[in-house]
Amino acid sequence: MKKILIYESQFFYARGLHAVIKSNFPDFDVFLVFSSIIFLEECSKKRYDIVIFDFEYIKTTSLKDLKRIKKLQPQSKLFVFSEIDSDDFKIQCSKGKVDFLLSKNCSEVYLVAALNLALFGDSYFSKGLRLNIPELKTIKKVKVESSKSNLLSQREFEIAMLMVQGYSTTKISDKLNIVPSTISTYKKRLFKKTNSSNVIDIAKFLRVLQ
């Protein structure tokens, strides 16, 4: 069974990421940690097929951490999620033996495609093509209307929270004692109200509300 280790400091984003991966790769074991220290400790204990690291800011996270992760997990594919968009950072990631550099705002389709490439041993940092790296997308900040009509109801918020925690429609139905068809209706309403296309977008919306 394939194993993925994720370090992501933002709870809702991490849960959304976890849900997307599990929905597309249900047979994978996906582990979440919210501390870079614990992440490095975990890397030293077990072998993972893919490790995903949230690289927030150069000032708070050293590029040496990337080399250390690769040293601890030489056989794994190293993914870095970051909002840093500079050629210098991309070059440094390439030198740090990062296999995939993705924007934190990348689409679900883009992420799944990258994971599939990783499973076949591929990388965006091919020999002779070190600068052929996908451009980081411009970060679009989620805007929440102040009008009450655009905010979530208590039930919608409850269902959204369960969604980002990885609960399926059936499990949400069982947990809330509501028929699955009604849960599906709530989900459609949630995607429309939050202008979201996937669970990660829902997670970002919830983060803004906190």
- Give one DSSP letter per residue of the chain, joined into a string: --EEEEE-SSHHHHHHHHHHHHHH-TTSEEEEES-HHHHHHHHHHS--SEEEEE---TTTS-HHHHHHHHHH-TTSEEEEEE----HHHHHHHHHTT-SEEEETT--HHHHHHHHHHHHTT--SS-TT-TT--PPPPPP------SSGGGSPPHHHHHHHHHHHTT--HHHHHHHHT--HHHHHHHHHHHHHHTT-SSHHHHHHHHHHH-
pTM score of the predicted model? 0.63
Q: Which domains does the chain have, with CATH numbers?
A: 3-119 (3.40.50.2300), 148-209 (1.10.10.10)
d(CA 197, CA 92): 32
User: By C-alpha distance, which of 100, 101, 41 is closest to 73?
Assistant: 41
Q: Is 199 exposed, middle or buried (0-12, 13-18, 19+ CB in 10 A)?
A: buried
How do 77-82 and 29-33 pair as beta strands? unpaired
The kind and range of the H/E element at 6 are strand 3-7
Q: What is the mean pLDDT of each run of 10 residues along the chain (210 residues)?
A: 88 85 88 88 92 71 78 90 78 80 78 79 53 36 37 82 84 91 93 86 68
Q: Which pLDDT score, from 0 to 100, does residue 133 have?
A: 38
The kind and range of the H/E element at 19 are helix 11-24
Amino acid at 185: T
Amino acid at 36: S
d(CA 106, CA 81): 9
How do 100-103 and 29-33 pair as beta strands? unpaired
d(CA 34, CA 37): 9
